A = this chain, B = another copy of it.
Amino acid sequence: MVTIGRVTTTDLHQDHPLVGKHAQALQEAREALAARSYYSRYPESPSPRVYGEHAAAEGKAAYDARLGRPFDLADQPGDGTRVGAEVSPYGPELGVTYPHLDVDAAMTAAQQALPAWRDAGALVRAAALVEGLDRLGVRSFELANAVQHTSGQPFVMAFQAGGPQAQDRGLEAVVTALVEQERIPSSVVWEKPAKREPLRMRKDYRIVPRGVALVVGCNTFPTWNAYPGIFASLATGNPVVVKPHPHATLPLAITVKVLREALAEAGFDPALVQLAAEADGEGLAKVLAERPEVRIIDYTGGPTFGNWLEQAGAAAGKQVYTEKAGVNTIVIDSTDDLLGLLGNLAFSFSLYSGQMCTAPQNVYVPRDGLDTDQGHLGFEEFGSSLAEAIRKFTADDAKAVEVLGATVNPGVRQRAASLAQLAQDAGGRLVLDSRKVEHPSFPDAVVRTPGLVALDVTDSATYTKECFGPVAFLIATDSTDQSLQRLRDTITEHGAMTASVYSTSYPVLEDARDAAADAGVALSENLTGGVFVNQTAAFSDYHGTGANPAANAAYADAAFVAGRFRVITSRRHV
């Protein structure tokens, strides 16, 4: 419970200079969101023509300057200790340490920051957050290095997904929240006809946040998966405590620092955003999640802790938004562009060695094969063709590492190194082994190409579990009908972030759309060009659906923001 002094806010804040500065950006984003059309505020190309000739070097230098020293967040309420033992999946130790929060003091600081932020109103909050995002935008190269050397992503991906695309998702969350809040009038006069004279009341509607919000980050997408929760909670008035993965703290530490500075300069308490760095195995997320002050939790990570959060959070009346794990699925029926299909899939499997929550895992193919523009292909022929496409795509080590990145943890490495065993245990067949790639610049990096294991549709014990990392299953089915039924059943039971289908048959595509709707998963159809099933675009594609066990929320729909604030009415006769 927050005890709060009175702030007469609208008057104070309505001419806040950031509102004018970012009015156009907010309007463009509102319109893009309503139209679900293409929109991006933060350019995804790391080209010097876009970011400036020296941007890349300066970002690298800024990153390098952070290595081997304490990260400065001295204005946070610390407990006097420091944590941090990040090691780049590319090899080097980062050597950065972070101040450890004093949790009691952090909760108090967050609660004290709340009233003025709440009373500033939705528009001022949105404008201040665009300012914060813009400041992150100019740090995208620094963030890219930090994301690369914590997640293991290849550099360009770390730039795009860790910088501008994360920032666009943050902006999407801000504007989704703004639009939802703008639907509530601040005050109305209500007049009810009555016998003698009408009943007239003035009703004021005050938007209030839930309380302190906790965002639990993940190792593989430290910024991209954290920004929607951070910005949705802030935009709706909730102070945020960011608990990064202990192996991927730096990107969120930079984020928190930049946001604190931006908020302070905008006249708000920097305690609106605090970093809760933790030591490996400390279990700080649970401690924070159980604090009564914490009313909202955004989580990306494994299903065990995610399921606990959902249940314990509900018991304590908290709003919990989770993204966990699933079995992403492709159904292959037929194609009029076999080369496009193979190239597209080879990229999807290879990108960041399949270490994406959106990377495809289960590929259902009729055991009789498929019709293509190059004639009929048997199941085994299709597997060979796909294996060959992956081999070719990853043949040049120096080029391959720029797509594959580095494996993020021992679990992934171990799985990648034992695909033959996996195939044998599952009663399947190794179609393509994962190859260890030498990284020309980082000899300690463990870089892996994707492997393929052929299974039968009956081998469901193997393919109904998430098998995170560089492996996909080619699963022989009796028919495309059965493939679609497996898509339905496995995703309903085990979840998925993505699904796709390849078919030249309109009825099959319609069946696939129905199967996807039943399973509650978004569907990509016949991707053979520059769009990949593992990629979604802010303002247009929802990330996740909230309709299957992989995630209980989507970036970013009304349900993602509407529960983060409440409306308190006061009414009186006039």
A184-196: contact bitstring with B at CB < 8 Å (1 yes, 0 no)? 1100101111100
Docked CA distance A121–B567 (Å): 29
Evaluate contact between A35 and B188: CB separation under 8 angstroms.
yes
Q: How far is the CA of A569 from the CA of B492 in the complex (A)?
A: 16
Q: Does A199 contact B (CB under 8 A)?
A: yes
* Interface pair B569/A526, CB less than 8 Å apart: no
Interface string of A557-574 (1 = CB under 8 A from B): 111001100111111110
Is A192 within 8 A of B568, CB to CB?
A: no
Instruction: Say whether A67 faces chain B, with CB atoms less than 8 Å apart.
Output: no
- Given A188-B540, A205-B36, A523-B570, answer yes or no on A199-B529 (Cβ-Cβ < 8 Å): yes
Q: How many residues of A contact B (CB 8 A)?
A: 85
Which residue of chain B has the shortest Cβ distance to A559 in the bound complex? B562
Residue in B203, B313, B566 whose beta carbon sits within 8 Å of that of A546 in the complex: B566
A516 interfacial contact with B, CB 8 Å? yes
Contact between B567 and A554 (Cβ–Cβ < 8 Å)? Answer: yes
Given known pairs A208-B547, A523-B571, the reply for A191 and B562 (CB within 8 Å) is no
- Is the C-beta of A60 less than 8 angstroms from some C-beta in chain B? no
Report the minimal beta-carbon distance from A189 to chain B, rounded to whole angstroms: 8
Looking at A208, A489, A569, the one whose CB has the most chain B CB atoms below 10 A away is A569
Work out how many copies of this chain go into the complex: 2
A557 and B569 CA atoms in complex are apart in Å by 12
Q: Scan A525-553; emit 1 where CB is below 8 A from any B CB, else 0.
A: 11111110000010011100111010010
- Cβ distance A118 to chain B, nearest Cβ, rounded Å: 8
Give the complex CA separation of A489 and B1 in angstroms: 8
Q: Is the CB of B317 within 8 A of A314?
A: no
> Which chain B positions have C-beta within 8 A of A317?
310, 549, 552
Q: Judge whether A208 and B488 touch: CB under 8 Å.
A: no
Q: Which 6 A-B pairs have the closest CB atoms?
A: A314-B314, A547-B566, A525-B572, A559-B562, A558-B562, A1-B492
A-B contact pairs, 13 of them (CB 8 A): A4-B517, A5-B514, A6-B510, A36-B184, A311-B314, A512-B570, A513-B570, A516-B568, A516-B570, A527-B573, A545-B566, A554-B566, A563-B563
- A residues contacting B by CB (< 8 A) are 1-6, 34-38, 180, 183-185, 188, 190-194, 199, 201, 203-206, 208, 210, 307, 310-311, 313-315, 317, 320, 488-489, 492-493, 510-514, 516-531, 537, 540-542, 545-547, 549, 552, 554, 557-559, 562-563, 566-573
